[in-house]
Amino acid sequence: MYLIGSGSQLKYVFDICTYHSAIYVQKVVDIGGFDDKFFDQIRIRHGIMDLPTFEKYIDGAEFINAFIATSNLKIKERLIKRLIGKLVFTNLIHPHASISESAIVQRLNVMIGARAVLQPYCEVKAGSFINTGAIIEHDVQVGPYSTVAPGAVLCGWVNVGKGVFIGAGACIKPGVHVGDGAMVGMGAVVTKDVPEYTVVCGNPARRHNGKRINDSKEMHEVAEGTEDTPVSNTVPTGRDAGSNDFCSLEQGKAGCCGVQAPGREAGQTPDKSTQEV
Burial (0-12, 13-18, 19+ Cβ within 10 Å), 143:
buried
d(CA 199, CA 15): 31
Predicted confidence at residue 37, as pLDDT, reads 67
Predicted confidence at residue 119, as pLDDT, reads 97
pLDDT score of 241 more than 70: no
d(CA 177, CA 5): 30
pLDDT score of 272 more than 80: no
pLDDT score of 127 more than 80: yes
Q: What tens digit of pLDDT does each residue of 19-49 get?
A: 766 778 888 888 876 556 666 666 666 677 8
How far are the Cα atoms of 64, 141, 175 from residue 50, in angstroms, in the given order?
17, 35, 43
Which one, of 184, 100, 187, lies nearest residue 138 by Cα? 100
pLDDT score of 158 more than 80: yes
Respond yes or no: is residue 138 known to be catalytic. yes
d(CA 195, CA 110): 25
Residue type, 126: A
Asked which of 12-16, 142-146, 201-205 is least confident by mean pLDDT, the reply is 12-16
d(CA 21, CA 93): 10
pLDDT score of 105 more than 70: yes
- Which residues touch 39 (CB under 8 Å, ≥6 apart)? 28, 48
Indicate which residue of 46, 138, 177, 208 is catalytic. Answer: 138
Predicted confidence at residue 232, as pLDDT, reads 31
Average pLDDT of every residue of the chain: 77
